[in-house]
Amino acid sequence: MTLMLEELQHIARIEKERQEGFQHRIRVCVAAGCLSCQSGVLKEALEKEVSRRGMENWVDVKGVGCLGLCTAGPLVAIEPEGTLYQGVKVSDIGPIIEALGGSPVVDLQCSTDLAFFSKQHKIVLENCGKIDPERIEDYIAERGYEALYNALRGMTPKEVIDEISKGGLRGRGGAGYPTGLKWTTVSKAVSDTKYVICNADEGDPGAFMDRSVLESDPHRVLEGMAIAAYAVGANHGFIYVRAEYPLAVKRLRTAIAHAERMGVLGNNIFNTRFQFDIKVRLGAGAFVCGEETALISSIEGRLGKPRPRPPYPAESGLWGFPTLINNVETFANIAPIIRNGGAWFAGIGTEKSKGTKVFALAGRVNHTGLIEVPMGTILREIVFDIGGGIPGAGKFKAVQTGGPSGGCIPEQYLDMPVDYESLAEVGSIMGSGGMIVMDQSSCMVDVARFFMEFCMSESCGKCVPCRVGTTQLYNLLNNITRGSAVPADLATIEELCDLVKNTALCGLGQTAPNPVLSTLHYFKDEYLAHIEDKYCPANTCKMKTATFHCDRAQDG
C-alpha cells in the first residue's frame, strides 16, 4: 500500500475531528517517571470512572508521553482548559471529573505559569505530553510524516543535506559533530548497501532524555531516520536501544509495526522508489556500546569493543558498509528542520550551537524533570528559574554535566551560556544532556570517585591505558575518601589523568579523567582537606585509616 499526501492529510483531519469531538480531554502522563508513581493504574481508573458515569462520548482519557515535571508525578493535564494536576491519586479522580468545565481542584493544581514551563522552548519535545505514543494517527495529526513526504517527493537527497547543514544542527550525542557534514560523508561513500543507525544506548547515569523521547514520541525518531536514509542513500536502519528501557523498546516496536502498516516504512514509500526498514536491536548493559564502533560490533552480535578510527563508520561501518550513526535527539530534530527550513532552525540558539537542547535536570533541585531550552541559555536560569533552585536550606555547589565524561561546573560559572564551546572551556562537555545539581551535602572527591568507579567497571579492557589507568585512578581516589592518601598522590593522579586522556583508544577512556580533573581544578581545597586533615567537608566520606576494604582496594 502506498500512501499519498492527500491520504496523510485525510488521516490527520479525521483524527483532529475525533479529538475535537470531545469536550474535555484528560491526558495522563504514562512516561517512565509517572508510571513509577502508578500513573498506569490511575489512567485505567480514570477510564473506568468516565465510562461508569456515561461520559465517554464527550470526555477522552488518553495516555501521553512525558509532561516534563517528573518530580510532581503522576501528572494529569486537562484540555482545552489547560489545567495541570500534580501528584494525582486514584481517590482524586471523582473531584477531577466533577471539576471538568468548572473551576479546577485547587489542592491538586500545578501552576502552569512556573518558569519551569514558560522558559522552555520545545522542538524535540513538542509532541511530548500531547500525543498518544502508541497511536500513529495522533502523530500524523500533528503534521507527522509530512516532512518525510516533502523530502521524498519534493527534494533531492542533496537538498535535504543542504537544509540540515544550513540549520547548523550538531550531533546531540555529546561530541557535537556537525550533522550535515556526517551525512555528506556517508552520502558520498560509494556502496549499494548503506545503513542508518540510531544510537539509543543512553548509558550515562543521570540522563534520561532519549528514553523520554522514545517513550513519548517514537514516530518522530523513525521519521528522522527515514529522512536521513533517503539523504544518504541507505535502505536499512537499526535502532540500538538499552534493554533496561523495556517501555521504550515496546513503544518503538509498536511504532515500527504501525509505520509499516501505514506504508511510511517499507517499500515504495509515498509511491517513490525509496525503501527503508528499521529493526530494533537490544543492548545488554554495556556503557562502552554508546561508542559508535563498539555499538556496531554489538549489533553484529559480538563483544562491544571499540576499534581504532579511521576508518570511520561513515566509510566502513556495520558489516563493513558505510553507516550513518546519529543519536536519538539528533534524529528527533530532523523532521522539524525539513518542515520549517534550515534558516528557521539556525535562528535559534547561539552562533556555533544552533537549536535547542534537551536536559534531564536532576539532583538537588526543586523541579526535577525533562526540559528543553535554546542553546546558550544561562546556566543560572536553568538551575534557579526552571529548576526552581535548591530545596530546603541547601546551597548550590556545582552542576555536573556530561556524566562520566563530563565535569563539575562550580558557582562562579553560573552565568555562563550553555553551549558546546562554553562547556568545553570550563572543562566539562555537553554530553547527552544529563544535568545533576549538587549542594553542600555532596563531596566532590566522592563524586569523582563515583564516576571513576563507573568508568573502571565499564571499561571494556581492550586498551591498557583505560583498563589499568581507570583502576589505578579509582584506587587513588578511594584512598583519599578513606583518609589514607598522602599529598604526593595528587601529583600522581594528575599525571595518570593526563596519560589516560591522551592514550586511551576510545572516548570512554579519553574522557574518563574529566570528572577528576574538573573537581581537582575547582575543588582542590576539598581534596586537601581529605588528605591533610583527614576531614570530609561534606561529611559524606567515612574517614578510616587502615580497613579491610582499604587494603583490598590497594591490592586490587
Partner 1 sequence: MIQASGEATQSTEKFAQMAQDRRWRMVNRTIRLNGNQPDALIETLHAVQDSFGFLDLEAMEYVAHQLRVPLSRVYAVATFYHYFALKPPGEHTCVVCLGTACYIGGSSAILESIHEHAGIHPGETTEDGKVSLLIARCLGSCGLAPAAVFDGEVAGKLNPAAVVEKIRRWTSHDSDA
Nearest distance from C-beta of residue 436 to partner 1, angstroms: 5
Which residue of 282, 346, 517, 528 would you call a contact of partner 1, by CB under 8 A? 282
**Interface pattern 423-462 for partner 1 (x via CB under 8 A):** -----------x-x-x--xx----x--xx--x---x-x--
User: Which CB atom, from 334 or from 541, has the smaller least distance to partner 1?
Assistant: 541
User: Which CB atom, from 176 or from 403, has the smaller least distance to partner 1?
Assistant: 403
539 binds partner 1, rule: CB under 8 A: no
Helices (DSSP H) in 487-547: which residue ranges? 488-503, 507-511, 514-522, 524-532
Sheet with 277-282, strands from edge to edge, namely 277-282, 236-241, 195-200, 323-327
Q: Where are the beta strands (DSSP E) in 365-454?
A: 369-374, 396-401, 407-410, 434-439
505 binds partner 1, rule: CB under 8 A: no
Q: Does the CA dihedral 108-114-120-126 come out positive or negative?
A: positive
Compute φ and ψ for 25, nearest 5 degrees: -120, 120
Nearest distance from C-beta of residue 314 to partner 1, angstroms: 21
Which residue of 65, 73, 129, 237 would you call a contact of partner 1, by CB under 8 A? 73
Closest to 145 (Cα-Cα) out of 276, 287, 48, 244: 276
Which residue of 85, 183, 195, 287 would you call a contact of partner 1, by CB under 8 A? 287
Nearest distance from C-beta of residue 474 to partner 1, angstroms: 15
User: Which CB atom, from 170 or from 211, has the smaller least distance to partner 1?
Assistant: 211
Compute φ and ψ for 398, nearest 5 degrees: -160, 160
Instruction: Please provide the DSSP assignment of 122-189 as one string.
Output: -STTTTTTTS-TT-HHHHHHTTTTHHHHHHHHH--HHHHHHHHHHHT-B-TTTT--BHHHHHHHHHHS
Residues in 143-202 that interact with partner 1 by CB under 8 A: 202
3-state helix, strand, coil in the chain (%, to 5): 50, 15, 40
**Interface pattern 381-420 for partner 1 (x via CB under 8 A):** -------------------x--x-----------------
Q: Which residues of 442-468 are buried (b: 16+ CB within 10 A; e: fewer)?
A: bbbbbbbbbbbbbbbebbbebbebbee
Q: Characterize the bridge pairing of strands 356-363 and 434-439.
A: parallel
Which residue of 284, 464, 486, 546 would you call a contact of partner 1, by CB under 8 A? 284
Provide the grid cell at 334: 530532523
Provide the grid cell at 244: 533496561
Which residue of 124, 241, 269, 360 would you call a contact of partner 1, by CB under 8 A? 360
Q: Which residues of 94-112 are buried (b: 16+ CB within 10 A; e: fewer)?
A: eebbebbeeebbeebebee
Amino acid at 323: T
506 binds partner 1, rule: CB under 8 A: no
Which residue of 8, 207, 426, 531 would you call a contact of partner 1, by CB under 8 A? 207
Nearest distance from C-beta of residue 267 to partner 1, angstroms: 18
Q: Facing residues of 428 across strands? A: none
User: Which CB atom, from 17 or from 300, has the smaller least distance to partner 1?
Assistant: 300
- Taking the C-alpha atoms of residue 349 and residue 376, their distance in angstroms, rounded to an integer, is 6
User: Which CB atom, from 129 or from 157, has the smaller least distance to partner 1?
Assistant: 129
Residues in 211-240 that interact with partner 1 by CB under 8 A: 211
Compute φ and ψ for 109, nearest 5 degrees: -70, 140
Nearest distance from C-beta of residue 36 to partner 1, angstroms: 3
285 binds partner 1, rule: CB under 8 A: yes
32 binds partner 1, rule: CB under 8 A: yes
User: Which CB atom, from 304 or from 465, has the smaller least distance to partner 1?
Assistant: 304
299 binds partner 1, rule: CB under 8 A: yes
556 binds partner 1, rule: CB under 8 A: no
Which positions touch partner 1 (CB under 8 A)? 32-33, 35-37, 70-71, 73, 202-208, 211, 243-245, 281-287, 298-304, 360, 362-364, 368-370, 400, 403, 434, 436, 438, 441-442, 447, 450-451, 454, 458, 460
